[in-house]
Amino acid sequence: MTNNRHRTVSLRLAFPLLFLGLTACRQDMHDQPRYKPLAASDFFADHRSARPAVEGTVARGHLRIDEARYTGKISGEDIDQFPIPIDRDGIERGRTRFNIYCTPCHGRLGDGNGMVVLRGYRQAASYYSDKLMKAPVGHFFDVITNGFGAMPSYASRIVPDDRWRITAYIRALQFSESAKITDVPADQRQTLPVEPPPSGIAPSAAAPAQQGNR
Ligand code: HEC
């Protein structure tokens, strides 16, 4: 009788122990052995856990053999033709990217009087200067890619093709600067705002809200 009770007690103990033992050997997928970023490793001769990319590999989406498209230059000279097709959708896309990334300094009109400038940042360039009216498109691409003077580079935020689309939109802005009412197709003239934006210190801030702003 006593013997029997002992056996039950030890069995009762043995089962949880066995269970614990089993779980200790188990490795779930959510707990995979791995190195923390930049951790040292004794396994590799150079003691780095992160392996260098195999020479000649190119990260997906980073194959850039088209010099004009990815540098805005051919043999060091700014190109003056868009290296990608630019259609209406492309210009629209350029407008939205421009409004996000460039207007804080250059203003919606591109006159260089964006809100950050009005608050004391270095005067941004006006796209209507003689120099920029005549500048080849590759120059705009280059400025967005590498920055210019006080202006930082936007390469990490704007993908190359969008830099071209922004440039196309800037060209449209430049064109609109000297556009006459007769340049607008007759059937679309009545859709234009009747009131010109008020002149003054902040024409950009006073620019009418654009419709369908994405
Ligand atoms: C943080 C403010 C700021 C932002 C945002 C900014 N710029 Fe500029 N940009 C400047 C300033 C300031 C200058 C004048 C540089 C100088 O004189 O040092 C300038 C100059 C330029 C020039 C003239 C370069 C030359 O040849 O004189 C171009 C073109 C230009 N920016 C395009 C852009 C575009 C396109 C964007 C958006 C992708 C952009 N900028 C966003 C501040 C800015």
pLDDT 10s digits, 3-30? 566 666 666 766 666 666 556 667 788 8
In degrees to the nearest 10, what's the CA dihedral of 91, 117, 144, 77? Answer: 100
Burial category of 94 from C-beta neighbours within 10 Å (exposed 0-12, middle 13-18, buried 19 and up): buried
**Selection from 130, 127, 123 nearest residue 105 by Cα:** 123
Domains and CATH numbers, the chain: 85-179 (1.10.760.10)
The minimum-distance atom of ligand 1 relative to the CA of 101 is 37
What the block records as the tokens of 199 is 């002149």
User: If you measure from the C-alpha of residue 98 to the centroid of ligand 1, how many angstroms do you get, rounded to a whole number?
Assistant: 11
User: If you measure from the C-alpha of residue 124 to the centroid of ligand 1, how many angstroms do you get, rounded to a whole number?
Assistant: 6
Q: Which amino acid, one-letter code, is at 69?
A: R
Helices and strands per DSSP (H, E), number in the chain: 8, 2
What residue's CA is closest to ligand 1, atom 6?
Answer: 102
| DSSP letter (8 states) at residue 181 | G
pLDDT 10s digits, 74-124? 999 999 999 999 999 999 999 999 999 999 999 999 999 999 999 999 999
The minimum-distance atom of ligand 1 relative to the CA of 166 is 35
